[in-house]
Each structure stands twice: as structure tokens, then as C-alpha cells.
Amino acid sequence: MGELVAFECDTATDVVCQPPTVNELFELPTLFSIGDVEITRQIAYFFLATLVVAAILYFGLRKPKAVPGKFQLIVEELVAFVRDGIAKDIIGPEGTKYVPYLLSIFLFILVGNFFEITPFINYPITSRMAIPALLAIMTYLIFVFMGFRKNGLSYLTGIIWPKSVPVAMRPLVGIIEFFSTFAIRPLTLAVRLFANLVAGHVMLSLLLVTGFTYLFVQPFDFTFNPLWGVLWFLLGIAIFVFEMVVAFLQAYIFTLLSAVYIESSLHPEH
């Protein structure tokens, strides 16, 4: 683990400071170790996200009433959003089977993303590749498995030799489709979420830390101007609001695309 390198610089001498790497923003201290496995704060945050999801579901649904209270209504709306707006809309009536999975990834990613702007956490767990990769692999396994289970080998042949395009085009389109389905889809699914949250976290960190530095930390050799600090800080706040939208949108997109991929495996002719 690197310390905040900038503070190690001896500004009195002429030594070039070692620039902090981007990893500085994403590596958090190890809390404790189980054998060789280091349990870092990120991993603790993963379980915190689980706890938050569990708490939302528990307090929203522990005593479900025919006439719901406000909190139950919000939770029900969230569930209905995934069940009706994603699973049934995209996959169709069979989509009901996938609601547990889709709802789980939606809530887990949503809460994980919102950690980015949660005070005292300020760290989206989805900015660690482990989470997007894990969920993308799960989606990948589900849609490939369901594709073969529902359509047998014709799932594969339908992708490699697509009947809907002219014969001359089939080898080319087949190769593109094959790579798109089996290699690109999981990669883009994971990277889209990961990159969005990394970018958001970097942006917020830079803006807010810069604002903080201008306002409260003595500068090295540039003119100290609190106004810059205020401006950086305001920009940080604006991005903060923007990141709320991103947090929701990325959870939605990931869930939606998972549903789309499952649907395209179940009905490859579309």
C-alpha cells in the first residue's frame, strides 16, 4: 500500500516528487488477514452493500401489508421496476424465472454504485473489477447455458451460420456474431460498469480533493487562492449530483443488458 505520496515530498529540497498513481484512489488499507488472504476495506464494503440491500428488503417487506406503507411501496416499486420493466418487458412471460437474478444484480449494483456518493464511504464497490467481472461472468454463464438448454446445438449454429443474412455474408457475420456473443458481450458488460464508476470516482476525488487542497492545505509554490478551492468544490458537488444519475443508470443498463442477452439466447431467431 502506498501512502499519500504528495505529502512525503520534501518541498524544501529539489527532489522530484513521485507522482501518485491512479491506484492510490482504489487501494484501501487491509483490515485484517485470514491466512494469506488480506481482507481489505473494499471487501468489507462488498458485505456492507449486502447488508444495505438486506436491510432495505427486510425493513420494506418484513410485514407486508395489503395497503403498503411508504417504504414498502418504494421497495415494491423497485421490484416491479425490475420485474415488469426489465424481466417481463424484455424476456417476455418466461422472464419471471429470471426476476430473482435480475433483481439481485440490480439492487447489488445500485447500492454498490451509490457508495460512490455515500458520505464516509465514497467508494463505489463496482469500481473494483471483481464485482462487474463476477456479475458479467454470471450473466454470461446464464445466457450461454440457457441458449444451449433451450435451443440445443442450433443455438451455436444459429450464431455461426445466421440464416437471416445472405449466404455470401454468413461466414463474416457468423464470425462477428460469434465473437460478439461469446467474447465481447461479457467484456463490455463488465467494462462499461467498471469504467463508468472508475471515471466517476476519479473525477469526484480529483475535484473534491483539489478543492480541499486549495482551501485548506498549504500550497507548494503557486499562489494560494481560496476562490479556486470554492470553484473546484462547486464543480465537485455538480458532478456529485451527476454521479447519482450515473449510479442508477449503470445499474439499470447492466440489468437491462443482462435481460437482453438472456432473451437473445432464448429466442436467437430475433
State the first-to-last Cα distance of the chain, in angstroms, to the nearest integer: 50
Q: Are 5 and 17 in contact (CB under 8 A)?
A: yes
- Work out whether 134 is an interface residue with other proteins (CB under 8 A): yes
Part in contact with other proteins (CB under 8 A); list of ranges 10-18, 139-147, 163-171, 252-260: 10-18
- Work out whether 230 is an interface residue with other proteins (CB under 8 A): no
Give residue for cell 491512479: 22
**Shortest reach from residue 267's CB to other proteins, in Å:** 24
CB neighbour list of residue 75: distance below 8 Å, 6 or more residues apart: 56, 57, 60, 61
Nearer to other proteins, 58 or 182 (CB): 58
Give residue for cell 483539489: 210
**Shortest reach from residue 196's CB to other proteins, in Å:** 14
Q: Are 136 and 262 in contact (CB under 8 A)?
A: no
The C-alpha angle with vertex 243 and arms to 242 and 247, in degrees rounded to 5, equals 130
For residues 178 and 270, what is the distance between their CA atoms, to the nearest angstrom?
A: 16
14-53 mask for other proteins (x: CB under 8 A)?
A: -xx-xx-xxx--xx---------xxxx-xx--xx-xx--x
Q: What residues make contact with other proteins under the rule CB under 8 A?
A: 2, 15-16, 18-19, 21-23, 26-27, 37-40, 42-43, 46-47, 49-50, 53-54, 57-58, 61-62, 64-68, 72, 75-76, 79, 99-101, 103-105, 107-108, 125, 128-131, 133-135, 138, 194, 198
